[in-house]
């Protein structure tokens, strides 16, 4: 489904079965292995299946803000082994250069993201290693092991984009850093834009 078509889709109750099944499968994956490469490979397949269908994200966690991008918590594992969030980007919005300090998977649900990756030089300064576009249905990975510093921008100038992220921690509570190009860090804890999360466990409606 294109980003424009997504804006025109009829208002229906979200299919919470999809997200419920995803978080259950991801919890099973983490119970089976602690190997990061295995988690990223198998987790990529799980996230790809989730974002292949766009009928499950509740509208209240898909709303842009005119001032800044939004990070909505969709689920946090009870042992904080992983969290699932929706990132909602208004037209032209972007992050500063930042890290994550844990592994992460990013799946594009609607629209396009421009991702600029950076590498630290021995001097501590950052060098831009180029940019890539992440389109609907595509999944990217980050971690301190494979590359963890980037800047992300909405790749669309006229409408929102939405990506679904899975991180190896309660990402809204993790101390991380933004960076100047000379490598100077500034620590931050992101928190979340929402104070409530979707109720995935009410099976009375079987949605």
For residue 4, what pLDDT is reported?
A: 44
**Topology given in CATH for the domain delimited by 13-189:** Jelly Rolls (2.60.120)
The rounded average pLDDT for each run of 10 residues, N- to C-terminus, in the chain (207 residues) is 45 86 98 98 98 97 96 97 98 96 98 96 94 98 96 96 98 97 96 94 74
Q: Convert 113-144 into a string of H (helix), E (strand) and C (coil).
A: EEEEEEEECCCCCEEEEEEEEEECCCEEEEEC
CA dist., res. 83 & res. 23, Å (int): 9
Residue 150 assigned to a binding site = yes
For residue 13, what pLDDT is reported?
A: 80
For residue 206, what pLDDT is reported?
A: 60
Kindly list the domain boundaries of the chain, sorted by start residue.
13-189
For residue 203, what pLDDT is reported?
A: 83
Does this model's pTM top 0.85? My answer is yes
Contacts of 106 (CB under 8 A, 6+ apart): 113, 134, 139, 140, 141, 142, 163, 164, 165
Two structure tokens written together for 150: 């980037």
For residue 12, what pLDDT is reported?
A: 67
For residue 1, what pLDDT is reported?
A: 42
Half-sphere exposure of residue 122: CA atoms within 13 angstroms, side-chain side: 0
């Amino acid at each position: 489904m294109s980003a424009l078509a997504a804006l025109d889709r009829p208002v229906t109750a979200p299919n919470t079965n999809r997200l419920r099944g995803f978080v259950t499968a991801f919890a099973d994956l983490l119970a089976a292995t602690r190997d990061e490469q295995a988690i990223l490979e198998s987790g990529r397949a799980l996230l790809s299946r989730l974002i292949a269908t766009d009928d499950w994200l509740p509208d209240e966690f898909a709303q842009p803000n005119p001032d800044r991008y939004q990070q909505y918590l969709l689920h946090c594992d009870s042992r904080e082994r992983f969290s699932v969030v929706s990132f909602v980007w208004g037209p032209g919005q972007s992050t500063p250069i930042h890290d994550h300090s844990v592994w992460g998977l990013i799946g594009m649900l609607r629209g396009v993201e421009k991702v600029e990756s950076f590498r630290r030089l021995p001097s501590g300064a950052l060098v831009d290693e180029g940019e890539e576009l992440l389109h609907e249905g595509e999944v990217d990975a980050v971690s301190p092991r494979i590359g963890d510093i980037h800047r992300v921008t909405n790749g669309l100038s006229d409408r929102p984009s939405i990506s679904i992220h899975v991180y190896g921690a309660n990402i809204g509570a993790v101390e991380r850093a933004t960076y100047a190009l000379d490598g100077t860090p500034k620590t931050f804890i992101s928190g979340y834009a929402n104070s409530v999360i979707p109720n995935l466990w009410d099976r009375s409606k079987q949605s």
